A and B are shown apart, each in its own frame.
Chain A
C-alpha cells in the first residue's frame, strides 16, 4: 500500500462544477503540499498546510491530521484548471512522498 493515496485518479467535470480531490496518507506528518502540474509539464506549488484550511482564489485546501486526510476543492471550475493535481507529505527527515496524482479535465 502506498504511503500516500489520491482519489480519484481521473476526474472529468463540466465548467462551473465544484471539484474535490482527496489525499489520504498512512504516516505521521507535519506538513502536506498540494501541487499542480500543467499540461506542459511544469509544477507549481498551490498550498502547504499543517492544519485547518487555506484558501487562494477559487482553491481551498483542508487537512485533518487525526484522520490523516486532506482535500483540495476547486469552486466554479474552469477549463484552465485542467491539470494533474499532486499531494505530497513530509515523511522522515526532510523527505517527501508523493501521491500518483489526479488528472482533472474541465470541459467548457
Chain B
C-alpha cells in the first residue's frame, strides 16, 4: 500500500532532550516536506527536499534540522527541543514539485503530536 509513515504518533519529552521524528515513503517520491500545525496558525512548512541531499528551509525552520540521505526517508531532528515546539507535525511527499503545474498531489503521514515540557 502506498503510504507515508511517520513515527512516533505521540511523543512527550523534556526541554533540551534531542529527538528525531522519522518519515518514510514507499512511492519513490522526489519531494518530501515537514509541516507543523498550531491552532490559529494553520499548517506551516518547516523544511522540504526536492531530492537526495537537497534540502531547503520553509517558513519556520528555526530549531529544526533535516537530512535526506536516501530518497525514501526524511527525518526531522530537534537538537534541543523547547516548549514552543509543542505542536502537531506532518510529513508529506509528492512525485514532483507541488508548485508545478504537473499533477503532484501531496501524500501526508498520520501526524506526530509532540509535547515538550
Contact = CB atoms under 8 A, between A and B. Distances in A.
Same complex: yes
Interface of A: 29-31, 33, 35, 41-45, 47-48, 50, 86, 88, 90-91, 93-101
Interface stretch (B44-52, B66-74, B79-87): B44-52
A43 to B, nearest CB: 4
State which size class the interface on B falls in: 20 to 34
Interface of B: 31, 33, 35, 40-45, 48, 50, 56, 58-59, 88, 90, 92, 97-101, 103-108, 110-111
B108 A42 contact: yes
B65 to A, nearest CB: 18
Contacts of A42: 108, 110-111
Given A86-B43, A94-B56, A30 B104 contact: no
A94 B106 CA distance: 12
Contacts of A93: 56, 99
